[in-house]
Amino acid sequence: MEEIRRQVAAARRRLVMQQFLGVLPWALLVAMLTALVGLAVPKFMIVNVDGNVWFASWMGGALAAGLLFAIGWTAATGRQAMDAAIELDRRFGLKERVSSALSLQQEDLETEAGKALLNDAARRVESLEVREKFGISINARALLPVLPALVAFALVLVPDAQDKVKAASSDSAAIREQVKRSAQELKNRLAEKQKRVEESGLKDAEQIFKKLHQGLDEMSKDGSVDRKKALVKINDLAKELEQRRKDLGDPEKMQKQFEGLKNIEQGPADKIADAMKEGNFEKAIEQLKQLQDKMEKGDLNEQDKQQLAQQLQQMQQKMQEMADAQREAKAELERQIRQKVAEGDMEGAGKLQRKLDQLQQQDRQMQQLDQMADKLGQASEAMQNGDMESAQSQLSEFSDQLQEMQSEMQQLASLDEMMDEIGDAKNAMNCEECAGAG
């Protein structure tokens, strides 16, 4: 009987192990899927637990839970000794000898029939190799938990929500520092230009610089400023500069207009005409001052006075011609635009309108040109009438207008420099490599 029980026990152990291995993959699969849900939580929500501890807890808990469930399930539903005996009979073809022997009661074992059945069963199981028919195998189901486990380890590479918040906070701080650094660099460079502007006495430009500094100070002091807001602020400053540039018109083209001051007869105003023809208003103002000194001291003889009157008249005529030519060009463009619109050629009208807009930017300078021509004409007429005092007065006003034009040229140059500096500042704010230093 001992041999029978030994073989039955061996068969039962293998049946139980096979049953355990059958339920374990499913238990681990469910546990790992549950762990995946837990591991995904920190990716979307802030969890005040260390990431490694959270991962180890869920993975370790899942493995332990799956294993314990498989053990408990096997223990609750495990195969009994009679089940193993029946399987021995079936698998080895013993025709219920083992199960029958195992089911004999004590009084049955005392009978001849019982002893004969027991001895026969014992003899037959004695030579059995239980492991041959009760092999323990692992099938493809054992790989079921592997996929969620791989996904779980892949989740480690996904940043936690808390890490994203920290990274975003760090990036925001870096961006704010970059913006402040760029604004401060721009402010320092503008300060140098402002000093030169103040020395030149350009009051309008001084006001522009002060407004720029005020805007940059606001950006530097605003602790919550980000790159987008800073660029909007910079763009607003650039628009103000551009508007001021438009208000000034186009002194550079006006400067080129004076190239038409040629073929002027010789006389005391030669150097003035030459300087204006070259677009050198500063030199023209200096030469005009020297001429006024001569007129005041009476250093001009009658011939000089006649020549000067003639030169001033010629300059007045040429400057008036420049202004008239610009007005005629505008009028012609307006006529052509109306014609294009009447013909339905809106594209052609648009091109002509852009040309007209460019000419209209010179309106301010053309008005100055009219006024300057008028002053020269009055000065020429006063000299012809021998009224030197009135002539000097008109030339002084002419000099003031030249000075105003020179000032606008300097303002335009300053505005161009400021626009360049603002462009560099915008690039620095977007430059991650230079960290805002440009």
Question: What pLDDT, in 10s, does the model give residues 32-53?
Answer: 888 878 777 777 777 677 777 8
Confidence of residue 108 (pLDDT cuts 50, 70, 90): low
Contact 227, 179 (CB under 8 A): yes
The share of the chain scoring above pLDDT 90, in percent, equals 2
Q: Is the pLDDT of residue 438 over 50?
A: no
- The pLDDT mean for the chain works out to 76
In a domain, 141, yes or no: yes
58 or 226, which is more confident: 58
Q: Is the pLDDT of residue 435 over 60?
A: no
99 shares its domain with 175: no
Higher pLDDT, 187 or 378: 378
**Do residues 255 and 288 share a domain?**
yes
Kindly report, residue by residue over 387-428, the tens digit of the pLDDT.
888 988 988 888 888 888 777 777 777 777 777 777 766 676
Asked whether residue 171 is assigned to any structural domain, the reply reads yes
| Residue 426 is assigned to a structural domain of this protein | no
434 within some domain? no
Do 341 and 237 lie in one domain? The reply is no
- pLDDT of 335 reads 92
354 has a pLDDT exceeding 80:
yes
282 and 230 co-located in one domain: no
Please indicate, yes or no, if residue 114 is contained in any of the structural domains.
Answer: yes
Q: Residue 207: what pLDDT?
A: 65
Per-residue pLDDT, 216? 63
Does 136 share its domain with 19? yes
Q: How far apart are CA 252 and CA 230, in angstroms?
A: 32
- Same domain? For 152 and 172 the reply is no
Q: Crossing angle for the helix pair 388-430 and 161-200, nearest 10 degrees?
A: 160
Q: Does residue 430 form part of some domain?
A: no
Give 259's DSSP letter.
G
pLDDT for 220 equals: 56
| Nearest C-alpha neighbor of 66 from the set 17, 19, 33 | 33
Q: Between these two residues, 73 and 429, which has the higher pLDDT value?
A: 73
* Overall number of domains in the chain: 3
User: Residue 28's domain spans which residues?
Assistant: 2-158
Q: How far apart are CA 151 and CA 33, in angstroms?
A: 10
pLDDT band at 336; cut points 50, 70, 90 = very high
Q: What confidence category does residue 85 fall into, taking pLDDT thresholds of 50, 70 and 90?
A: confident
List C-alpha distances in Å: 23 to 16, 79, 261, 298, 360.
11, 14, 106, 124, 90
| Across 169-194, average pLDDT | 63
Reply yes or no on whether the pLDDT at 431 is more than 70: no
Domain boundary among 195, 212, 247: 247
d(CA 330, CA 199): 38
Are 402 and 373 contacting, i.e. CB atoms less than 8 angstroms apart? no
Residue 82 sits in the same domain as residue 141: yes
Q: Coil, helix or strand for 58?
A: helix
Give the per-residue pLDDT at 6: 77
Range among 195-204, 275-284, 334-343 rated most confident: 334-343
Q: Are residues 273 and 332 in the same domain?
A: yes
pLDDT of residue 339: 92
Same domain, 58 and 137: yes
* H helix runs in 110-226, sequence order: 112-126, 130-133, 146-155, 161-200, 203-221
Same domain, 154 and 56: yes
Q: C-alpha 359: how far from its chain's center?
A: 38
Among residues 164, 153, 169, 151, the alpha carbon closest in space to that of 44 is found at 164
CB 361 within 8 A of CB 246: yes
Judge if 229 and 258 occupy the same domain: no
**Is there a domain that residue 429 lies in?**
no
Is the residue at 435 inside a domain?
Answer: no
- pTM for the structure as a whole: 0.49
- Higher-confidence position of 7 and 293: 293
Domain finish residue from 186, 217, 247: 247
- Dist CA 317 CA 376 (whole Å): 9
Going by pLDDT thresholds of 50, 70 and 90, the confidence category of residue 436 is: very low
Residue where a domain terminates, one of 206, 222, 247: 247
pLDDT-based confidence at 437, cuts 50/70/90? Answer: very low
Same domain, 340 and 387: yes
Which residue would you say has higher pLDDT here, 100 or 306?
306
